[in-house]
Amino acid sequence: MLQQLLIVSLLTMIIHTSETLSYAVRFAGVRTGKLAVSLTLSGMIVLVARTSNMLQGVMVGKMIDYAKQHAGFPLEKYFRLIIGSASIGTVLAMLLFPSVVFLAGRMISHLEVSGSIPKLLTSVSLDKLKHARTHLRRPTLKMLRALRIYNVPKRLLLLNCVVTSIYTVGVLAALYASFIAVSGIAASQSSGLINGIATIIMTVLIDPQIALMTDRALRNEADQDRLGKVYGLMMMSRLAGTVLGQVIFMPAVIWIEWMTARI
């Protein structure tokens, strides 16, 4: 099972790294004035995350089957290690953010020339990959200090933290509830009981504010630096959310078990 844990943790890292780096692609779209094109590239990143999510679910299901056959298997410990890998993936995305902003800007320019994603991919050569190293940027303490002095709505950061924590543990909590609950099959399919709350918060309270800030940045170049700092703080709140996921994991399991017993 150790090999299974390593693979699932790697997939979880890929999921959270990809989702967090979507901020970098959107920011590159704002800086180049080509937001619509950047959303296409952002969609590709989300596709990578969703594909990894499907593979993750299958392998976590195998862990649960193994735990049911071996009473001493520390399933909760394994799940918490998986949640911890979400934090690592988010930190990795934060370190890659400056580089991905520059690389995404170049990809947006090349996509305009090629006209389609397949042509863009086939135009990649070894020389271009070597040249991509010139666009790498190392995060600095100056960037971190800049985030501290900017006034971003605290409610937005708090909501993003809460939503991230729910998304981080939603599926895992449902699967763990299926392990300990009497109605195991019902519990395994009930991640929507808590993920639905996160989706409502994201759609109603978070996305509109980010959209308004992005729109202002497109119209006013002075707001672009502000948007970059907002994205930086949003990534930090995502990291806090993955840590908060460790706290709400068992309460989420109990909530799902309680709800499935009464539906």
Secondary structure of 98-167 in HEC code, one letter for each residue: HHHHHHHHHHHHHHHHHCCHHHHHHCCCHHHHHHHHHHCCCCCHHHHHHHHCCCCCHHHHHHHHHHHHHH
Query: How many CA atoms does the CB half-sphere of 237 hold within 13 Å?
Result: 24
With tokens 């902003």, the residue in question is: 101
Its domain, for residue 61, covers 2-262
- Which pLDDT value is given to residue 139? 62
Nearby residues of 163 by Cβ (< 8 Å), 6 or more positions away: 198, 201, 202, 206, 241
- Which pLDDT value is given to residue 151? 64
- Which pLDDT value is given to residue 150? 59
What is the mean pLDDT, run by run of 10 residues, along the chain of 263 residues? 86 90 88 80 77 77 84 89 95 90 81 69 62 62 56 84 91 86 66 79 86 83 77 91 94 85 71
- What DSSP character marks residue 134? G
Task: Judge contact between 193 and 259, C-beta under 8 A.
Answer: yes
What's the structural domain count of the chain?
Answer: 1
- Which pLDDT value is given to residue 79? 93
- Which pLDDT value is given to residue 209? 86
